[in-house]
Structure 1
């Protein structure tokens, strides 16, 4: 059985699920290979409008690297595995379709880095998380030092990474890392509700908006505004834009087709 599964729900929404609950859904070599296979499928499905990333079980979203497996590795193998985690996380970050991390338990190290690569994060009220690598005499190696600072600010990122502090989902919401905190029983529905809300909007507009935000973020305001304008122009000739205007005129819900 695959350690990462993928299914499509509600026609336009995909769900990626890590499936090693017996090992806290940690990043083994097999899981990383399976994750790449799933991402290949996601990247090929042009009709997807949102993707939820979550895990099997009620205790762990992803505990990060599989430390039991890592103890048997040479230094070169460790480096290769860390790089592979980074490649998976970056592929998630680079998906054109919006992504929602549904954090259903512990998310430490690479597990939290995976969540950081998603566009939106929701968490169960039992979730614990942290970039705890410095407590193991290493540093976050799959984008954590960069993505956390961009999400919560430089000083807070230094605080959490340098102390290796573990924190709960409520604290995560307070610092701007988590958008919604719900009970574990409600988490799946909450993530899917957000995905449905995104999927009900114009697919081209949503993807272009994500692109404009991501590309413009690291530039000064004037450059960012130019990027926004260029992105906006891609929405003008679409059938969906005309459908939205027609639906408004007819006082009905638009029927977007992603064209």
Structure 2
């Protein structure tokens, strides 16, 4: 049996692949166990500066939860308790490195929830994106109801969740659900170019900028601005900041060390 999640590292980029193409990369127990391990391994590797998440095969990024595992009805108390300790999606929030979702084909339910947990979403023109859970008598369970309104706003989030409509890549870009759309044949190259661009930038500045923007979703403006100044103060003393200044004066490309 093939591994449900693959991790490949090349040129400072960790490529994490959901690897169940025969099931449109649906999330089963094995995938939910393996995915956070791959993310945390990439986060811990000093050679990695950017993480990319993608789906294997031609049909889907991720079709959501594997319905085959939804056979028995769990006790509500047992299910609630199990999810309290289910931290697999938290791996995304704990990662300081940029995470890019490279989306093609079907991206539904848990697949979209994973993409929402990433920092940047780039989609192929053939992507179909949505949250169909309410039509199955359930709802999102790993952050979709919380992350989606933060990305597209309350009205659009309610529209998507209550109707279960699938959005095209073009429509997804219109509402800010994805920020880049490319032809299907160009998705890998465009993702690789984006990842290379991110990897070439100073890692500490990237990490702290990500922290500040993420915190803005939860903090009052005054507290957020205080955090911004604190993080900027830390960056002023980094070697990479000094290297950027030297490179600018010397009219050359900077060589960032991550220090």
TM range, smaller chain: over 0.9
Alignment RMSD (CA, Å) = 2.0
Q: 1:81 to 1:7 in 2, by over 3 A?
A: farther
Q: Which residue of 1 aligns with 2:112?
A: 112
Q: What whole-Å deviation, never above 9, does each CA across 1:197-236 have from its counterpart, x for those lacking one?
A: 1111111101110011111332222211101001111112
Equivalent residue, structure 1, for 2:10 = 9
Structure 1 residue 85, shift from structure 2 partner: 11
Report what 2:162 is aligned to: 162
- 1:227 — aligned with what? 227
The answer to whether residue 95 in structure 2 is matched with residue 99 in structure 1 is: no
Distance 1:52 1:80 in 2: 31
Aligned residues: 257
Unaligned runs of 5+ in 1: none
- Tell whether the 8 Å contact from 2:40 to 2:91 is kept in structure 1 after alignment: no
Alpha-carbon offset, residue 36 of structure 1: 2.8
Report the alpha carbon displacement of residue 86 of structure 1 after superposing the two structures with TM.
Answer: 6.3
CA distance in structure 2 between the partners assigned to 1:85 and 1:151 by the alignment: 26
Of the structure 1 ranges 136-145 and 218-227, higher mean CA displacement relative to structure 2 is found in 218-227
Q: How does 1:179-218 map to 2 (within 5 A)?
A: 179-218=179-218
What SS does structure 1 have at the residue aligned with 2:252?
Answer: coil
Alignment of 1:50-89 (within 5 A): 50-71=50-71, 73-76=72-75, 79=79, 83=83, 87-89=87-89
Contact 2:16–2:54 under 8 Å retained in 1: yes
* TM-score, normalised by the number of residues in structure 1: 0.93
The CA deviation string for residues 1-39 of structure 1, in whole angstroms up to 9 with x for no partner, is 2110011121x1111000000011011111112213212
Structure 2: 5+ residue stretches without partners = none
Q: Deviations over 1:23-66 (max 9, x none)?
A: 11011111112213212312311342111100111111111110
